[in-house]
Amino acid sequence: MKKAIKCGVFGLFRGAAHITSILQNDGDVVAVCDRDEEKLENARKLLGDKVACYKDFDEFINHPGLEAVVLANAFDGHVPFAIKALEKDIHVLSECISNGTMAEGVALVRAVEKSKAIYMVDENFAFMKFNWEIKKVYQGGTLGKLLYAEGEYNHPEMPGDDDVMRRYRPFPKHWRNYLPRSYYITHSLGPLMYITGAKPIRVTAMPVFAPNPSDSLMGLDVGDRAAIITTLNDDDSVFKLTGCAAFGAHGQSYRICGVKGQVENLRDGTDRILLSYNEWDTPQGVNRQSCYVPEWNDKDSALIEASGHGGGDFLVAREFLTCIRENKEPVLNVYLATTMASVGILAWRSILNGSKPYEVPDFRKEEDKIKYENDYLTPFYGPDGKEPTLPCCSRPDYKPDPKLVEEYLNVVTKK
């Protein structure tokens, strides 16, 4: 039997989903941390009295024998807690995005480079069944040199769902109320980087401005439905991406185009793959075009199929715990993570500055670290209530209808 890594989970809104995946991969959840007593009680029911429950992170991170933590707190708030764990050589699996500011990205990389622990970002969409298959096809080499790829994450919410609003935007200064559309970049960019190995080196972006209804996933002040982002990569390929978009129909799609052919998942809500070659480049014995549902063909297929996010939740946990056991660097490491975050952050600055292109830093390089080590610009309120230093809408002067704001406040304050 594999050694049971002693894990802790911080933040039980999203983090609760990690508990099952850790247990299924021979991990042991020995401690959890959240301010909400109800969430802690739910963890006790699942894990039994053996689990230690904390409301204070500093007490949680000092739990005896703790070896690894999952950080599933606020979207832009992972870095301070990751650094505390890394300083104790505790392994970190961090929810997306890795860092909410450029300076935090620098601080995170420096902490990882000093630590004996492993850092991995939880980009579960990279492990969905269709992306698993797209990677297999691409790495097979039959598509030829990478030229172009698309990643689209589209997540509108059904209007009129007050429970969704209370769940995802529970108070006025919540990060989703101020989330620029480019920032939630990992579900569109992460799979492309994981599949191809290409690294963005320059980014530019344009907004899709269309004010949201009061009960959208994002806040009223955002005003935009999408950020359309393009990157030039270190292999001369180009990516086209969205952040968290809200146009058309809900779904996610990915397309990889080489010199000889292309592979993509279909936008029909299934796991179907469409693989196409040029007539003159079709491999011998293969159809020029084929549409099929891939199979996992994995020892854990049943567990993967039952897991959240198309199998991604289970596979992320498996990869993280395997890297710890084998002391190997994750593919979704701190450099990939901070590159993704930098693309999202700098794409927003591109939008605010007339689609100006920005060079994407490589935080392996000390000169790039120095350039951004004091860059704390942010569209979010700080945990201490500090005001944002960037607008969250592509039209900074845009203000939502006061009636919609009142409707939102009435919903989230209703008991």
Cβ pair 53, 39 in contact under 8 A: no
Beta strands 251-258 and 119-121 are: unpaired
Q: Residue 25 half-sphere exposure, CB side, CA atoms within 13 Å? A: 24
Taking each helix axis from N to C end, the angle separating 79-87 and 102-114, rounded to the nearest 10 degrees, works out to 10
pLDDT at residue number 248: 86
Residue with tokens 């020029």: 288
Cβ pair 97, 186 in contact under 8 A: yes
Low-confidence ranges of the chain (pLDDT < 50): none
User: What is the DSSP track for 312-334?
Assistant: HHHHHHHHHHHHHHHT---SS-H
Q: In the chain, what is the straight-line distance between the N-terminal and C-terminal CA atoms, in Å?
A: 48
Name which of 59, 63, 38, 61 is nearest 51 in CA terms. 63
Q: For the segment 12-61, what is each residue's pLDDT rounded down to a tens digit?
A: 999 999 999 999 999 999 999 999 999 999 999 999 999 999 999 999 99
Name which of 372, 365, 362, 316 is nearest 340 in CA terms. 362
pLDDT at residue number 108: 98
Radius of gyration of the chain (CA): 21
Alpha helices in 100-207 (DSSP H): 102-114, 129-139, 162-168, 186-196
User: What is the DSSP track for 251-302?
Assistant: EEEEEEEESSEEEEE-SSSS--EEEEE-GGGPPTTS-SEEEE-----STTHH
Q: Read off the DSSP letter of residue 283.
A: P
Q: How far apart are CA 273 and CA 254, in angstroms?
A: 10
Measure CA 367 to chain center: 26
Helix (H) or strand (E) segment spanning residue 120: strand 119-121
Domains defined along the chain, listed by start: 5-124 (3.40.50.720), 126-294+335-372 (3.30.360.10)
Cβ pair 5, 37 in contact under 8 A: no
